[in-house]
Each structure stands twice: as C-alpha cells, then as structure tokens.
Chain A
Amino acid sequence: MTLFDLNEGDSAEIVSINMDKLPKPMLTELLELGFFPGAKILLKTKSVILGKLICTLGGTTIGLRMKDGEAILLKTT
C-alpha cells in the first residue's frame, strides 16, 4: 500500500520510499521532514481537485503532490 491509497483519517507506518519514482533532491527532503522507514504517518486530507495530500508525522503537517504519495510505501499498524 502507498500513501496515495491510505484513507483520510487513517494512519500507517512507512516501510520504504521508492527512490526510482522520485527526483533525488526530493528524497533528501522527504527524509529530513521525517519520512523514513518506521515513522508513523496520518493522512489528514486527500484533495483531488488540488492534487494534494496533507499528512502529519512527528508533530508536523506536510503537504505533497498525490502522485509523489505513490512512492511512499506503507504498512498498516
């Protein structure tokens, strides 16, 4: 399952990030924002019109594009 597949209000644990699907600089940025294996993530909003996901992890609210959410692999806890 990916972050894109998660339902609004659900949380899961990050398993890995598919490096091939993302530009390299974005990967570093994701890691520094807390997107690393083992981190718990909660999907707050999925806005199809804006093409965005809003999630919280480690006390921070982060917005990213829906298609990039497909590169973040999760397992439900």
Chain B
Amino acid sequence: MKEKNIYLVGNPNCGKTTLFNQLTGLTQKTGNFSGVTVEKKEGYISLPNIELKITDLPGTYGLGGIAEDKKIAYEVLLKRKEDEVVIYVLDALNLERGLQFLLQIIDMGAPTLVVLTMKDVLEKKRIQLDLEKLKQSLGLQIVLVNAKSGEGIAELKSLLAKEESFQKQKRLWKWDEKEESYLNSLKQKLKITTNEAEFFLTQSLKFLNGDPHLQDNRNLNQFPIETKELLSREIESKSFHFGYQEEMIHRSILIKKIISNSIFYPNVTKGGWEEKLDQIFLHPVFGFLCFFLLMGILFQSLFSFAEIPMDLIEGGITKLQDFTGSYLPDGPLRSLLVEGILGGVGSVVVFVPQIALLFLFIGVLEESGYLARASFLMDRLMGKFGLSGKSFIPLLSSAACAVPAILGTRTIENKSDRFTTIMVSPLIMCSARYPVYILIVGTVFSYPPIFGIFNVQGFVLFSMFFLGMAVSFTFALIFRKTVFKENASYFVMELPRYNLPSIKSLFFTVYGKVKSFLATAGQIILYISILLWFLSHFPAEYKDEVWKTSPIESSYIGRVGKVMEPAIAPLGFDWKIGISILTSFAAREVMVSTLAVLYGSEEEGEESESLRETLRADKKSDGSFVWTPLTGISLLLFFAFASQCMSTLAVTKKETGSLLWPTVQFLYMTTLAISTSFIVYQLGKILGFV
C-alpha cells in the first residue's frame, strides 16, 4: 500500500491539535524530531489504497520565529521531500493572521490543502463566509470543518486520499514595482521557474539586504559563486527593500482584498461574555484571587476525587499479589514476583488517577484559553524574579511533572529565560512528590478534616506547592542575577478566545501523558524494585530445602544504611529513612515502596494504614520515636528540594546540550535540601520541639 506524508501546519490556537486528534485517534505516537528534543506527534489514517502519516508541527505565526519549536516548523518545511504535502489549518475567525502564514507556505512551493476550522463559531456569530470566492482567490482546495464535533471530517478524509486535493500555487502577492521587476529579471537570467527556487532566491536577497529577521546565509549558499557575487554587487549598488517587514505589508494588502471579498461580519455588539470574563480573569485583584481559588480546587479535588479509584487499584494489586502468591511455592521467585515486582510497580500504578486528574485539569485550563491569561497576569510578578510570563506555563505544568515542563520551555525565545526556567522547574512540587508527602503527612500529622470537609493533607499539599513556587522563583532570580545575566526578557502574547475544551481532545492528551508516565517512571521503578528486593533479602542461604533470607538489618542494604546513619542523623533521619532517600534518588516515588519493604509491612502504598502505624511506632535505640513531627518536617523539606529524578536530569542535559547544567542542577538542589533539613531540624531541637 502507498504511504504519504502530510504535515499539519498552522497558527497556535487555531484548532490544529483538535483536528489532529480527530483525524488520527488512537494511532498517535510521540517522539522527537531527529537531532532535537522538540516533541513530534505523528498519527496514521488508513484509507482504501493509501496509508497517510500525519505529523503535527508546532504551531507558529510565521517562518521568522527563533523559538526552538518554531524553528522546527521552518526546518521541516524547508527540507520537505517532493511528494510530501501540507494541510494548512486556518482559523476562520483569525483569517488575517492565518492567511499571512498560509501565503508563506504557498511561497515555499508546498502542495497545500486548507482546512478552515471554527465552523460552529462562524455560525454562532452569524459571520457569512463565501467559501467559493475564498477558494478562487487562493487557488486552493478548502474544507470547512468543526474540529470539535467532527463535522466535515469525513469529507476531509475523502479529499486526503486524492492527489489533486493538494495544490501548488504561484506567489500571489507582489513586491513594490522596483523590487518585483528586479526579481523577474533575475529569475529570467538565472532560469528560475519553480516556486521553491524563487523562495531560495528571495530569502537570499533578504539576507543580502541585511534583514534583521533572516540572519542565515544557507539559502544564498545554494547558488554558484558567480551568482552569489552578482547578487551581492547588485544589492549593494541599488537600494532595494527586500525584507520580512516589507513582505508582510505587501501580503497584508492582498489579504485585506481577499477578506473583503469573501467574509462578511454582522454588526457585532461589543462587550460580550468573553470581555466580561477577561475583566475578571485579568483584573489585578480578582484575577489573582481566581487563580489561587482554581489552584486550591485543584489540590483539594486531587484528594477527594482520586481516592476511590486509587483504593480500587490498590485492592486490585493486592488481589493480584495474593493470586500470584497462591500459585507459586514459597521461595525467592515468589518473593521477587509478589513483593519485588508487583509490589514495586503497583506502588506507581496507584498514582495513575491523581496524575490523570492533574493532566486533565491543566489540559482544561490550557484548552479553555485560561492558561495564557494566567501567564499574562503573572508576567509582572515573574518580572520581579527576572523571568517573563512565558516561563509561567512550564513552571505551572511542573506541578504535574518537570520533564514535559522542561520540554515546554521551547516556546520561550529568550535563551537566558529558557535556561533559568529549566534550572528551577524541578523545584516546583511534581506529582512524584505526592505519595511521599501523603505518607509523611499522614504519619506525623494525622488530623480529622476541618469542619468535616477540608482535608488537612490538601492544605499541606497546597502549602508545599506554594513553597516550591516561592523557592523556584527565588532561585530564578539568583540564576538571572549571576549566571544568566544577558538578554532582557520580553513579553508579548496572544490571549486566545475562550473555548469549551473538547472532551475527545482532552481524552487523548490525558491518555498520552499517562501512558508515557507509566512507560518512563514505571520502568525505572521496576528495575529499582528488583534491585531493592535483592539487596534487602540477600545474602540468603538454602538450608533444609528452604530459603533463609537475611533480616533487614544484616541485608546488603541494611549494612549500607547503618554505615550512612551517622551522616544523616543531624537531619533527624535514621538508617531506614536514609536507605529510602538513597533509593529514591532515581525517582521520588520509590521512597514509599522502599519504606514498605524495610519496615516489613504486609501492605504497600501511601494509603496503607498499617505502614503509617508501623512508622509511628518505630523507636530509636534511645527509646525516642523516629517519626516525630520535626523529623516529618525535615523530611518533607528534603523531598521538596532534593534532585531525585533521573529523567529530569536527562531532559535537562538534552535541552541545554551540555552536562554542565544537569550537574549544577543536581548539586544546588541537593545542597539546598541537605542544608534546609539540617537547619530546620537543629533549630527545632534547640527550640524544644521533638
């Protein structure tokens, strides 16, 4: 069967991802563009006689951007193979800006099919669109769809199968007379006939003309030396105006003409509900109140709603352990499977409901258009710490996981801003810290709900979240004032229309994120669980047809713990806590399963009452309790700041392209964690707390 590559291109917030989800459904795959870590989303559509591979390119406003993800769209389109085509997603309510980019795609010579989205909004706003006239003006095939409901998708799919649906078009706009006639004479002289070659020629002319937006000469280098010299001489001697700005002005003249012929707006009355919402969300006082309220609801709901599915999963895992255990004879294999693998991996699977909820919440905020408003609101505050509002979205998504958040910094054009954001993102409380916090808080602060509804754990999580935010902002300022001093940050951002999020789109987003969480975190935990099981059960001996494993104190890991105990005692930790810190350096969640193994608890998991009770009852050699509120606080602070995540360090290395920054990240976070725990514990002891 034939396979065809299609690139999905368009502005940000034009409905591109919703369309991608509609077209490809569960056939999606994520990876990286070759050589860089910019996320690549691909999906497949099987049609009679043809298999279509659709690549969703990062949304961009044009080919002049310098942010990593925007550069990718330009690079991919520039290196496009002859038979690869483009679906251009055009937002019907933002025709002017969308057409600017579309005309750039046409200039590149890519065979294009246009998908016009927001059919529903057009109808609702009673905007009349003459589709035939728009088709004529652009000379391209156009399909009108409602990406959310799926209306028009069947027609689009039938068009995708046909070669002739994707049309090449000549450049539709013209330069000023002087430039245009010079370009034409050059084309004749150099025998340039195709759009692609003309595109390289104009890019070269823009470069020679000193266009500030185009500073690379690779287009010019494609021409022979004589041509390069000829072009340089001519551009120097005559004063031409070949530039991105001029190009945009000329395109915009054409766009205004196209729009006035094909779209008719009714007399719109100003001050609709969207403006009213903006008056609240962007208000200097109410805006912040709304933001804090939304965050409060998020952390409370993570506990209230996630508890039932978490209990169910935990019950399921226990049943699976019992079932597996009952079919295997007593011995190392049974112990490895039941306690090591099922216990270890199960302790991660249990967090899926919370993680799904967190991603769902962030997805709703993003798709509804609120997240852009939150960064607008936060810009001034972020500015005080040397960052721009654009760093806010990655920092907020660090609340789910620092890995996608660090990847998300690619939208930040300013390098110093971007690197600072990468360095401080792991300080924000991420989902891997929840199980640890829940276990610690549940053990040392066991209080009933306030007024019967407000969960104490929810409050602690909420304050730990703000502690993480505050510390990461402080370190952002330190980095900005010391290492990343260059480049003043700036902020300009589109405030997208408010949108009801598409359930289908949210489903695919949450599904994809949970899948990758399980694949990456789950794998690490599986290996560590097996290793931990071995280290905590061995040395063992086979005597009288029975395996005798070591008690935890004399196992390999127990010996390590005893050796390190004097070093961590000033932080309030004993050898068991020390081991759990050691194992959780690869991934924080491992701490819970480690403690469960070490304390020999029957049940694993942070909700396990027996584990909490065992911890509460544990005593030091001098008879005092190990798990006191002071130790709890010291441990909470250690986990809030320590760099215990291999994946984050790996992604920092990839994104910064150097081993230096993950090393700095690891060192400063670990130093911060140890010193904070030490100071708080010692100060607490002096003040008479236990």
Expressed in whole angstroms, the minimum distance between the Cβ of A48 and any Cβ of chain B is: 9
B64 at the interface (CB under 8 A from A): yes
B244 at the interface (CB under 8 A from A): yes
For A66, give the chain B residue with the smallest CB separation.
Answer: B380
A76 at the interface (CB under 8 A from B): no
Interface pair A29/B413, CB less than 8 Å apart: yes
B94 at the interface (CB under 8 A from A): yes
Interface pair B65/A58, CB less than 8 Å apart: no
Interface pair A36/B249, CB less than 8 Å apart: yes
Q: A residues within 8 A CB of B377?
A: 50
Sample of 11 more A-B contacts, CB < 8 Å, known A36-B249, A38-B252, A63-B491: A26-B413, A28-B213, A29-B61, A30-B492, A31-B62, A31-B245, A32-B60, A59-B94, A61-B495, A63-B495, A64-B492
Interface pair A36/B493, CB less than 8 Å apart: no
Q: In the complex, A60 Cα to B100 Cα: how many Å?
A: 14
Would A62 and B494 be within 8 Å (CB), given that A28-B64, A52-B376 are in contact? yes
Q: B residues within 8 A CB of A45?
A: 278, 282
For residues 471 through 530 of chain B, which have their beta carbon under 8 Å from a beta carbon of chain A? 487-488, 490-497
Expressed in whole angstroms, the minimum distance between the Cβ of A16 and any Cβ of chain B is: 9
A54 at the interface (CB under 8 A from B): yes
B95 at the interface (CB under 8 A from A): yes
Interface string of B271-290 (1 = CB under 8 A from A): 00000001000101000000
Interface pair A62/B65, CB less than 8 Å apart: no
Interface pair A32/B65, CB less than 8 Å apart: yes
Q: B residues within 8 A CB of A64?
A: 491-493
Interface string of A13-39 (1 = CB under 8 A from B): 000000100111111111111101111
Q: B residues within 8 A CB of A47?
A: 282, 284
Expressed in whole angstroms, the minimum distance between the Cβ of A56 and any Cβ of chain B is: 9
B: residues with CB less than 8 A from A are 60-62, 64-66, 93-97, 100-101, 212-213, 244-245, 248-249, 252, 278, 282, 284, 376-377, 379-380, 383, 413-414, 487-488, 490-497
Expressed in whole angstroms, the minimum distance between the Cβ of A58 and any Cβ of chain B is: 4
Expressed in whole angstroms, the minimum distance between the Cβ of B277 and any Cβ of chain A is: 12
Expressed in whole angstroms, the minimum distance between the Cβ of A67 and any Cβ of chain B is: 9
Interface pair B66/A28, CB less than 8 Å apart: yes
Interface pair B96/A59, CB less than 8 Å apart: yes
Contact sample, A vs B, 30 pairs, CB 8 Å cutoff: A23-B487, A25-B490, A26-B413, A27-B213, A28-B64, A31-B62, A31-B64, A31-B245, A31-B248, A32-B64, A32-B65, A32-B248, A33-B492, A34-B96, A36-B248, A37-B245, A39-B252, A49-B284, A50-B376, A54-B495, A60-B94, A61-B278, A62-B494, A62-B495, A63-B492, A65-B379, A65-B490, A65-B491, A65-B492, A68-B490
Count of chain A to chain B residue pairs whose CB atoms are closer than 8 Å in the complex: 115
Interface pair B492/A26, CB less than 8 Å apart: yes
The interface on chain A, measured as residues whose beta carbon lies within 8 A of the other chain's beta carbons, has a size of: 34
Q: In the complex, A60 Cα to B101 Cα: how many Å?
A: 15
Majority secondary structure, A binding face: mixed
Interface pair A60/B493, CB less than 8 Å apart: no
Q: B residues within 8 A CB of A54?
A: 278, 282, 495
Interface pair A63/B249, CB less than 8 Å apart: no
Q: B residues within 8 A CB of A59?
A: 93-97
Interface pair A36/B245, CB less than 8 Å apart: yes
Q: Please tell me which one of the listed residues A32, A33, A52 contacts residue B379 in the complex, with CB atoms under 8 A apart.
A: A52
Q: In the complex, A58 Cα to B436 Cα: how many Å?
A: 50
Residue of B212, B249, B491, B492 contacting most chain A CB atoms (<10 Å): B492
Q: In the complex, A60 Cα to B93 Cα: how many Å?
A: 9
Q: Please tell me which one of the listed residues B93, B244, B488 contacts residue A31 in the complex, with CB atoms under 8 A apart.
A: B244
Q: B residues within 8 A CB of A58?
A: 94, 96-97
Identify the 7 closest CB pairs spanning chains A and B, nearest first.
A32-B61, A58-B96, A49-B284, A32-B62, A61-B495, A64-B492, A28-B64
Q: A residues within 8 A CB of B96?
A: 34, 58-59
Q: In the complex, A33 Cα to B60 Cα: how many Å?
A: 10
Q: B residues within 8 A CB of A38?
A: 249, 252
Q: A residues within 8 A CB of B284?
A: 47, 49-50
Q: A residues within 8 A CB of B66?
A: 25, 28
Expressed in whole angstroms, the minimum distance between the Cβ of A8 and any Cβ of chain B is: 12
Q: In the complex, A30 Cα to B245 Cα: how many Å?
A: 10
Expressed in whole angstroms, the minimum distance between the Cβ of A55 and any Cβ of chain B is: 10
